[in-house]
Structure 1
Amino acid sequence: MTEYGRGPGSEPWHPQDPLYGDGGWEGQQAYAGHQAAYGGRTQQQYPQQPQHGDWQQMPQPGYDGQPYPYYADQGQTPYDPQYPGQHPQPDGHPEPGHQGGWDATGTHGQVPYAADPGDPYGQHPVAYGAEQPDFYAAEDAYPPPEPPGRRRPEAEPEPDPSVDDEEEHAFFAGGGDDDEDDEPHERVGRAERRAGKGRKPVKSKKRRTGCACMVVVLVFGGGLGGVGYYGYKFYQNRFAPAPDYAGDGTGETVTVEIPKGAGGWDIGRRLKEAGVVKSAEAFVHAQGTTPGGDSIQAGAYLLKKEMSAASAVRMMLDPKSQNNVMVRPGERNAGVYQDIDKKLELAAGTTQKIAAKEYRTFGLPSWVSNDSTIKDPLEGFLFPGSYAAAKGMKPDTVLKQMVAQAKERYAAYGLDAKARSLGLHNAFELVTVASLVQAEGKTHDDFRKMAEVVYNRLKPTNTETNQLLQFDSTYNYLKGTSNIHISEKDINSNQSPYNTYTHKGLPPGPIGNPGEDALKATLNPTHDGWIYFVATDGTTNTEFAKTYEEFQQLKDKFNATSGN
C-alpha cells in the first residue's frame, strides 16, 4: 500500500499534478488508494480498504464544486474570497505548505482542531452547521457511509425459522401474476419484520397453500390416470383380443335381419344388439379370418344367442340358417307367395290373399296398368333377390321389401323414356317384354336375340306372324304350368289375352319377375333380323332364324330330339 501525506519523503507539488485545480476530486479518484490529510496536519494512516463498485466515484458529502464554507461560531476564521484556496491561520498568515490555495493533498485546508492530539478526528467540526454522526470514532465504522441517494439496499436478514415455517413459495401460496400489485405492501411487511414490529398473518396463505397443492395433485393425478386409461384402451384395441363368447351358443334362438349393403361392422353391431355375439370387433375379426366370410348376404338369419363370433360366421354361411325368401329371376309370384307362407309358418294361400287385397298399399310405380284382365297386379314387381322372412313377420312386410326393390331398380334404368325409344307405349309394357325375354331365353347370350324377336313380331309391318308372339310361356302362365308340349287344339281353343297364339300383341302384363340380365337385354336388343326361335334340345339350347323356312328346319330338329 502506497502511503501519501505531508511527511518526509513526499513528492513536491508540480503544476501538472492531476490534483491541480478543478481536477481535485477527480484527482482523488485517480489516487483512490490514498487518504488525504485534513487541516494540513500529518495524516494518521489507516489500512487501505477495498473499494467496491461506484462507492469510490461518489463525491464527498456537501461538495458541489465550491469551497467549503466556514462559520465563526465553530471557531474558524471566516472565508475571505480575496484569497481563494487559502485558509488563514489564527495569526493571520496562511497555513504553511499551501500553494495557490490548495494543499498538496488536493483537499481544502482546515483550522487546527482543539481536540485531543491523539485523536485528530474525534471532534471533527460539522461542515454543514448541523450535528452529524462521528463516522471515525468507532473502530469498525470505516469507511464512511455513502450518500443516501447512492446507498445500496441493505442485505436481506437471515430468514426467521418461524417465518419460513409459515410462508410458502409463491406458487404454493396461491401467488402469481395477480400478486404483482401487492409488491409495495410486501416490502413494507419485510421492513416491519426487520424492525421487529410484527408479522403479517399467514392463515390465508395456508389455506391457499392447501388448495393449490390439492389442485396440483388432482391435475397431475388426473393426467396420469387419463394417460393410463387411454393407453390401456389403445392396447386393448390394437393387441388384446376383442370380447367374445365361447362355444356354439345357448339353446335360445333369435332371428336377425341383415339389410342389403350391410358391411361387417354393421352386421356385427346388429348381432351384438340381438345378443348373438359379445362384440362387433370379434365378429369382424372372425369374418376376416373365415374362408368365404365376406360373402354373407342380406336377409334374415336364425341364430343362437351367446355364440362365439367364429360360430356365428359359419352359421350365417349355412343356407339352412337363413330365414330368407329367395326370389329367382323369372319366378312367378305364385311361387314367391308359397315360399313366404312356409317361412312365416302361415297357412297356404295366406300371402296370396293379402297380395290380392292390399297390393295398392305396397308402393307400386304410378305407371303400372290398372287393366282388369291382369291376372296379378304384383307380377313383375317382386324383384329377384333375398329378403328377410322369419317367423313373426307379416306377409305384407316381406312383399313391400320386394316391391320397393323393383321400384328402385326400374327407376334407375329410366324405363319410361326407354320404352318409347323401343316402340312401346310405357314402362309397364317394357317390364312385360323383359318378363317374356326372361321366360323364353336360356342363357345370357340368348336374351338380346330374344328381345329382338319380340320387337320384330310386334311391328305393324310384320308379315311373318302378323303381330302374334306365339309364345308357349304366356299360355303356361295362364294355366299355371310349365309344359313345353302344348297341343294346337288346346292353344286354338283358348281366347285369353294371355294366349299369344290367338291374341295379338303383348299379354296384359308381365308373366314373371325379370332379373337384371333380362332387363338389360330388353333395353339393348340385337339388330340382326331375328324373328323365329326354337329350343332345339328342349331345355338349354335355343336357336334363332330369320325366315320361315329356317324356322321349319329348326322345328324338325326339335321334333327329332324330343321324339315328337
Structure 2
Amino acid sequence: KKPKKRRSGCACLVLTVIFVGGVGGVGYFGYQFYQNRFGSAPDYAGSGNGESVSVDIPKDAGGYVIGQRLKDAGVIKSVDAFVAAQEQNPRGKSIQDGGYTLEKEMSAASAVEMMLSPSSRNNLIIPEGFRNVWVYEQIDKRLGVAKGTTQEVAKKDYKKLGLPSWAMNEPNVKDPLEGFLFPSSYGVAKGGKPEAVLKQMVSRATETYESYGVEKKAKSLGLDSPWQLITVASLAQAEGTSHDDFRKMAEVVYNRLKPGNEQTNGMLEFDSTYNYVKNQSKIDLSLTALRKYDNRYNTYYYKGLPPGPIGNPGEEALKGAVNPTSDGWYYFISMDGKTSEFTKTNEEHQKLVDKWNASRKN
C-alpha cells in the first residue's frame, strides 16, 4: 500500500479559519434575521423628554398610520414599537382621531397610554362655521403669544401652509385661509408655533375636501372651481339653522346662480356675506344699507358668489354642497331661529316675511 499523505498543517489552519468564518458569518446574519423578525422594535425609554408636541390623527387611522404620524413628530422611535404597544394595551384600539398634545421621545407604551388619557386631549375645538378671525385669537391664547401673531403669520405665509393649488391666487379674497381652518379638535400646546397649528388645520381641511372629490364635483355642479364649491358650503353653513337645512340651502345658492333665472336674476342677497365683511353677526339689517355698500363680498350689491368662503364649513355643510336637493327652492326664512322654511316663489316667501314681521311687531 502507498503511504498516506500527511495533511499540511497550513491547509488545516485555512480550513479551520474558513469554517469558523463561515459559521460566524451565518451566525451574524442569522442573528440579524432573528432580530429583524422576532426582536424588539427600536423604542425610547420613559414618558418623554419634556418637550410638548401637537399631533393630528386623521379619521379612521389604523395603528400604522398613527404610528407614522407620531414618528414624524418625534414622539416615538419606530412605528412597529407603537403598533406592538397598541396591541398589548387592552384599550389600544380605541384611540380616536383628532389632536393630541404629547411629548417627544416617549416610549411606545407611554404614547399609547397618553393618547388614551383625557389629559392629552384638552384641545382647541373649532366649531362649524366659525370665521378665521375667531380661530386666530383662540390659537394665540393657547400658544401664549401676543394677540394678532397667528393672523399675521397666516397673512404673510399662507402659501407655505399646505393649501392645494386650486386654492391659490384667488382675486379679491379677504383671507386666503378662510374655509381651510377645518372644524375639529386640535392639540395646541403653549410654546408651540402658529405655523404648525395652521398646517394641521389646513391639512385636515384639504384631506376632507379631497375625500369628497371637490374638483370633479365642482364641474358637475356648474361651478368654475372647487374653491367656489367650498364657498357654497360656507354659505350653507352660515345661513342654515340645522343640519337638515344644508342640502336645501345649497340648492337655493345654485338656483340663484343660474343664468337668466327670473326669481333673483343672479343675486344671492345673503345677509351672512355682508356680516362677514363687517365681522359681525346681526339679524336686523337695513335693506337700504345692504344695497348701498360696495364690497365684493356683499351679495346684495354684486351678483354671484362672494370672492371666497365666509367661514369654515363643517362636514355636514360640505355634504349638502356636493349633494344638494333638486326641489326648486329659491327662498328661505327662519321663523324661530332653529329651523328654516323654504319656498319656491317670491310670493310664497313674502307671506312668510309678513308673518315674521307681524310676530315681531315691525
TM over 0.5: yes
CA deviations on 1:388-446 (whole Å, 9 max, x unpaired) are: 65555543444355445655665676656654554444444333222211222244432
Query: Match of 1:302?
Result: 102
More helix by share: 2
Cα distance change on mapping 1:469 and 1:434 into 2, 3 Å:
same
Matches of 1:230 and 1:282, distance apart in 2:
17
Q: Measure, in 2, the Cα distance between the counterparts of 1:275 and 1:460.
A: 53
Query: In the superposition, relative to structure 1, how do residues 382 and 308 fare at CA in structure 2: closer, same or farther (>3 Å)?
Result: closer
1:351 aligned partner, one-letter code: T
**Counterpart contact for 1:538–1:562, Cα < 8 Å:** no
CA contact (8 A) 2:49 2:103 kept: no
Cα deviation 1:215-264 (Å, max 9, x = unaligned): 66776688789879977997767xxx998967xx4783432535647642
**Equivalent residue for 2:132?**
333
User: Which SS does the other structure have where 1:302 is aligned?
Assistant: strand
Is 1:453 the counterpart of 2:252? The answer is yes
Query: For residues 257-406 of structure 1, what are the structure 2 equivalents within 5 Å?
Result: 257=55, 260=58, 263-265=62-64, 267-268=66-67, 283-288=82-87, 289-291=89-91, 293-297=93-97, 299-303=99-103, 309=109, 311-318=110-117, 320-322=119-121, 327-360=126-159, 362=161, 363=163, 365-366=165-166, 368=168, 370-372=170-172, 374-385=173-184, 389-391=188-190, 393-403=192-202, 406=205
Of the structure 1 ranges 220-229 and 375-384, higher mean CA displacement relative to structure 2 is found in 220-229
Cα distance change of structure 1 residues 236 and 341 upon mapping to structure 2, 3 Å threshold: same
Going from structure 1 to structure 2, the CA distance change for 1:222 and 1:561 (only over 3 Å counts) comes to farther
Aligned counterpart in structure 2 of residue 551 of structure 1, from 308, 330, 349: 349
1:476 aligns with 2:268: no
CA change 1:266–1:486 in 2 (3 A) is same
Distance 1:308 1:351, change over 3 A: closer
The counterpart of 1:514, out of the listed 298, 313, 326, is 313
Alignment match, 1:173: none
The equivalent residue for 1:3 is: none
- Closer, same or farther in 2 for the Cα pair 1:411/1:559, shift >3 Å? same
Q: CA deviation at 1:450?
A: 1.0
Cα distance change, pair 283–410 in 1 and its aligned pair in 2 (3 A)? closer
How do residues 3-402 of structure 1 correspond to structure 2 at under 5 angstroms?
A: 187=2, 189=3, 202=6, 204-209=7-12, 212=15, 249=47, 252-255=50-53, 257=55, 260=58, 263-265=62-64, 267-268=66-67, 283-288=82-87, 289-291=89-91, 293-297=93-97, 299-303=99-103, 309=109, 311-318=110-117, 320-322=119-121, 327-360=126-159, 362=161, 363=163, 365-366=165-166, 368=168, 370-372=170-172, 374-385=173-184, 389-391=188-190, 393-402=192-201
Given that 2:101 and 2:188 are in contact with CA atoms closer than 8 Å, whether structure 1 keeps it comes out as no
RMSD of equivalent CA atoms: 4.5
- Number of residue equivalences: 359
- Which AA in structure 1 matches 2:142? K
Tell me if 1:523 matches 2:360. no
| Paired residue secondary structure (1:438) | helix
Shift of 1:214: 6.5
Q: Which structure is richer in relative contact order (CA contacts within 8 A, separation 6 or more)? A: 2
Instruction: For residue 532 of structure 1, report the CA deviation from its aligned partner.
Output: 1.5
How big is each residue's C-alpha offset from its partner over 1:74-107, in whole Å with a ceiling of 9 and x where there is no partner?
xxxxxxxxxxxxxxxxxxxxxxxxxxxxxxxxxx
Normalising by structure 2, we get a TM-score of: 0.74
1:453 CA drift (Å): 1.0
CA distance in 2, matches of 1:232, 1:420: 53
- The question of whether the paired residues in 1 share the 8 Å contact of 2:56 and 2:200 is answered with no
Secondary structure, aligned partner of 1:255: strand
Larger radius of gyration: 1
Aligned counterpart, 2:233: 434
TM-score for both structures, normalised by structure 1? 0.51
Letter aligned with residue 97 of structure 2: Q
Give the aligned residue type for 1:527. S
Supply the AA of the counterpart residue of 1:291. Answer: R
Alignment-derived partner of residue 340 in structure 2: 542
Letter in structure 2 aligned against 1:469: L
Judged with a 3 Å threshold, the aligned counterparts in structure 2 of structure 1 residues 285 and 360 are, in CA distance, closer, same or farther, namely closer
SS in 2 for 1:257: strand
Question: What residue in structure 2 maps to residue 33 of structure 1?
Answer: none
Please state whether the residue corresponding to 2:233 is helix, strand or coil: helix
Identity of aligned residues (%): 48
- 2:230 partner amino acid: V
Letter in 2 for 1:297: D
The one-letter code matched in structure 2 to 1:429 is Q
Runs (5+) with no aligned partner, structure 2 = none
Rounded Cα–Cα distance in structure 1 between residues aligned with 2:69 and 2:238: 38
